[in-house]
């Protein structure tokens, strides 16, 4: 019930309620690791009676205790508030270097890996994301850390998969990461182990995205498009020919049917190209007339 008393004291104003924030900062970890304590602190920080200065005061303490908070179910609630709700400028930029010395432990922890992912999946401070990604994949002194993360088939591999599929990272950067992870998998001889099957598939998907036309969404070139009227005419002709044949004849002549469809398609392509060329010629003639005029 002490939480209700604290909430009532907040309405006294910043001069009279400052003792609450001093107590939170002095005993941050002791309060945050408890179920009721963490929720009381979050409710206090989200109160309309709290000033931005008081929020930053507590946020600085949260950053100092980030390692402990990230690995605790209750403490993680306060880090979520800091990153997702507080809106304090520079919060990602300040927190990222604080976590670097402990990346191996954090990336292989169920809760803490989510905090690392939050630093990556954001667009407010891309330099903070770059700090984490460089440390994970492109800094030689952290090579052993990356290997340790890859050896964890539960949380470590899952984190790397989410990084490779993140829409917050540009494709070229994800391809660099995929190439680096692929090299490390071969170095550690993990590429054929069942637990890494999905990771290998994710790597291949990222690398395939760089091949022109490899995407399933690649469209048909414009010169091969068929106008609706031409398609309807070809379809009507095909139905007329098909109706003139008996069922036995259709079964006995599958090759002739396939050849007929191929001819129809070739005719459609030729007609489409001819139309495009005629349009281009007409446009050129019109431009010449305009120039002469």
Residues 227-280: tens digit of each pLDDT = 556 556 656 665 665 565 555 554 445 455 555 555 555 555 555 556 555 655
Q: What angle (nearest 5°) sits at the alpha carbon of residue 163, between those of residues 160 and 169?
A: 155
Quickly tell me which residue has 């004849």 as its tokens.
249
Q: What is the pLDDT of residue 174?
A: 94
Q: pTM for the full model? A: 0.68
**CA 77 to CA 280: how far, in whole Å?**
63
**CA 292 to CA 286: how far, in whole Å?**
10
Per-residue pLDDT tens digits for 100-130: 999 999 999 999 999 999 999 999 999 999 9
Per-residue pLDDT tens digits for 166-202: 999 999 999 999 999 999 999 999 888 988 999 999 9
């Amino acid at each position: 019930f002490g939480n209700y008393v604290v909430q009532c004291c907040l309405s006294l104003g910043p001069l009279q309620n400052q003792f609450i924030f001093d107590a939170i900062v002095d005993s941050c970890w002791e309060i945050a690791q408890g179920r009721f304590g963490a929720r009381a602190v979050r409710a206090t920080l989200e109160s309309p009676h709290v000033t931005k200065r008081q929020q930053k005061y507590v946020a600085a303490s949260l950053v100092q205790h980030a390692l402990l908070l990230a690995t605790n179910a209750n403490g993680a609630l306060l880090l979520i508030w800091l990153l997702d709700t507080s809106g304090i400028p520079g919060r990602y930029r300040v927190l990222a270097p604080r976590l670097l010395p402990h990346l191996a432990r954090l990336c292989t922890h169920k809760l803490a890996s989510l905090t690392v992912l939050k630093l990556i999946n954001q667009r407010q401070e891309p330099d903070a994301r770059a700090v984490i990604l460089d440390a994970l994949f492109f800094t030689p002194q952290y090579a052993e850390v990356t290997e340790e993360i890859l050896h964890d088939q539960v949380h470590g591999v899952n984190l790397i998969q989410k990084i490779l599929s993140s829409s917050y990272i540009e494709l070229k950067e994800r391809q660099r990461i995929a190439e680096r992870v692929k090299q490390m998998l071969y170095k550690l001889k993990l590429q054929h182990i069942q637990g890494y099957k999905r990771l290998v598939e994710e790597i291949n998907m990222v690398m395939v995205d760089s091949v022109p036309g490899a995407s399933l969404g690649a469209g048909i070139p414009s010169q091969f498009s068929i106008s609706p009227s031409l398609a309807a005419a070809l379809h009507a002709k095909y139905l007329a020919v098909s109706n003139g044949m008996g069922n036995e004849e259709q079964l006995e002549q599958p090759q002739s049917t396939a050849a007929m469809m191929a001819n129809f398609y070739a005719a459609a392509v030729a007609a489409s190209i001819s139309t495009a060329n005629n349009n281009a010629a007409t446009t050129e003639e019109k431009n010449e007339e305009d120039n002469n005029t």
